[in-house]
Amino acid sequence: MKYVLKNIRSFAKDYTRIFILLIITIAASTLIIHLSYGVFREYKDRKELSRNGTKQIVLRLKRWKDCKRREKSRGTDGGINHP
């Protein structure tokens, strides 16, 4: 490990421009990887929300008086047949 750090230090001293370019490209690639993962995660979350939205069942309750009025206008008694 000692010699690895010495080699990196000597590379930075001898080839300063290439070393700076190397650091910039590493930082840029890390940023691009993080951004692309974030975009993918956002897409996946939105897709999951749209799937959940289509599986929901909405129940609408009506007032009892409205149902009775509708049954009277139709001439039914709510499905119960009296003899």
Structural domain for 66, as ranges: 2-74
Burial of 12 (0-12, 13-18, 19+ CB in 10 A): middle
Examine residue 67 and state whether it is found in any structural domain, yes or no.
yes
pTM: predicted TM-score of the whole model, two decimal places: 0.51
In a domain, 62, yes or no: yes
Q: What's the confidence (pLDDT) of residue 76?
A: 57
Residue 44 to residues 18, 38, 83, Cα–Cα distance (Å): 39, 10, 59
Could you give the CA distance from residue 22 to residue 34 in angstroms, rounded to a whole number? 18
In a domain, 81, yes or no: no
pLDDT band at 12 (very low <50, low <70, confident <90, very high): very high
For residue range 18-73, what is the model confidence (pLDDT) as tens digits? Answer: 999 999 999 999 999 999 999 999 888 888 877 776 666 666 776 666 666 666 66
